[in-house]
Structure 1
Amino acid sequence: MKDVSQSIPAVEINTRPPKLLDQLRRCIRDKQYNLRTEEAYVYWTRWHIRFHGLRHPGEMGAAEVQAFLSYFTNERKVAASTHN
């Protein structure tokens, strides 16, 4: 009997996990949200990351979210209902 493992070419496997925004897009698509909703979520997530000096959201907590939303309320004069 022929050894099958020898006939299968070696395939380079990407061992790095998908980037954060790619994970966000995949999650939104799995939930079948509208494309415009996906674009808005990615836009706000990118802004949040940049606001905090390119820190990964996994390293941040409620205090950073509060600071981000307070910035819009106090500095940008955005209504609190818009945050929802």
Structure 2
Amino acid sequence: MPQTRPEHIVDAEFTRDMVETLSIWFEHYATGGVVTVEVTTHGLWLRNPYTKARQFLGRADVPDEPVAYRPAIDGLDDG
């Protein structure tokens, strides 16, 4: 297998409170000892591997332009 140079895709920035939240919820959201953090234009989300719902983890920066967000009851409305 040829060795390839890693390609930068995206940075995920975490504040201390986000790391603490991740630590508290880790076992609930982990599958095989791994938690998936979804990176969106609205921030970072913990994906529940069992219900497919997600929990807002936070956002470490202030967006350049305000983003509209309309949460759905089940947390999955992306429109």
Q: Tell me the TM-score normalised to structure 2 length.
A: 0.30
Structure ID, larger Rg: 1
Structure number with higher relative contact order (C-alpha < 8 Å, ≥ 6 residues apart): 2
Q: More strand per residue: 1 or 2?
A: 2
Q: More helix per residue: 1 or 2?
A: 1
